[in-house]
Amino acid sequence: MASTAAGRDAAVETRGLTKRYRGGQLAVDALDLSVPRGSVFGFLGPNGSGKTTTIRMLMGLIEPSSGRARLLGEPMPRAARSVLPRVGALIEGPALYPFLNGRDNLLRFDAADPTADPSTRAARVAAALDRVGLAAAARKKARAYSLGMKQRLGLAAALLQPRELLILDEPTNGLDPQGMREIRTLVRELADDGTTVFLSSHLLDEIEQVCTHAAVMSQGRLITQGTVAELVAASRGRLGVTTPDPADAIRVLKEHGVTDLVVVDDRVTGELPTADPPDLADVNAALVRAGVRVREFGTERASLEDAFVALTGEGFDVAG
């Protein structure tokens, strides 16, 4: 793949990246992905959509069936030796030594890095533990760690050295809400320091809260990519009417082509038609003429969940 201006500006770039397993299973299908440097990029899709397989190809852990990938402007896996020291990764959970404590695990990881200065190893490990909130548990055996603590330790290992790119596969897996908030804060801090963060997740709200850009995967194919704001803007919010007369409101809204009508207490919401949508002022006037007492009227703010459903025609576990 020829180096282009876009490729040099991208922390991750793929062209036609494909993985087909023995037996014919197509896990990733002709993926064209571009992750801007300095972004927090959400790689979004339900479990089984091809996210982890893509990450494993990016890191050179498995060979693609066809297509190409670049990390930090360099071809993978050919340039793995020079590129991977600039990349931190947490993929499919951390590989820990269960008989060692948290601190000794990180000392082992750091010692395996040929670029790490041994004279500053202890300070580097202490800083990484503190950054992920594990300083108090540093002497505890890893086998006694909860799943969330193991995730934190894996993140600490990825952060032992300054990284240009951090690749995280479901980084909040197993964390309680407080832990999830702490990881989101950490990701923002890393981005503020200039690190590009590539974050794979099936949690829509996680992506929406922390990411600047996102790509949507479904069944091994890329559905769309862009800024989170662009993806949300592409999905119009539902029309909402607050009224003590929901039955009459539903009748009028149906006459104006509104579908998927849902009533919760005194709130009626529905989908506006995409082809020839009605003027909202006309809909509001029709409600009033029909004697519907309108207390609130307007379109609700679209969310990333709305965008995903609109793009794929399916939903998935929003809260995990």
pTM: 0.74
- Token readout for 311 is 């793009």
What fold, for 239-301? Alpha-Beta Plaits (3.30.70)
Residue 33 is predicted with a pLDDT of 95
What are the structural domain ranges in the chain? 5-99+156-233, 239-301
Question: What's phi and psi for 58, nearest 5 deg?
Answer: -60, -40
pLDDT value, residue 320: 38
Beta carbons of 74 and 68 less than 8 angstroms apart: no
**Per-residue confidence (pLDDT) for residue 3, from 0 to 100:** 41
Which pLDDT belongs to residue 2?
Answer: 40
In DSSP notation, the chain reads ----HHHHHEEEEEEEEEEE-TTS-EEEEEEEEEEETT-EEEEE--TTSSHHHHHHHHTTSS--SEEEEEETTEEETTTHHHHGGGEEEE-SS----TTSBHHHHHHHHHHT-TTS-GGGHHHHHHHHHHHTT-GGGTTSBGGGS-HHHHHHHHHHHHTSS--SEEEEESTTTT--HHHHHHHHHHHHHHHHTT-EEEEEES-HHHHHHH-SEEEEEETTEEEEEEEHHHHHHTSPPPEEEE-S-HHHHHHHHHHTT-EEEEEETTEEEEEPPSSSPPPHHHHHHHHHHTT---SEEEEPPP-HHHHHHHHHS----S--
Whole-number pLDDT of residue 305: 66
Looking at the DSSP bridge assignments, the partners of residue 88 are: 166
Give per-10-residue mean pLDDT for the chain (320 aa).
53 95 89 95 86 92 93 91 89 85 95 90 94 92 89 89 90 80 86 91 80 90 87 71 94 91 90 80 93 88 63 51
pLDDT at 219: 86
pLDDT at 178: 81
Burial class (CB in 10 A: 0-12, 13-18, 19+), 277: middle
- In words, the CATH class of domain 5-99+156-233 is alpha beta
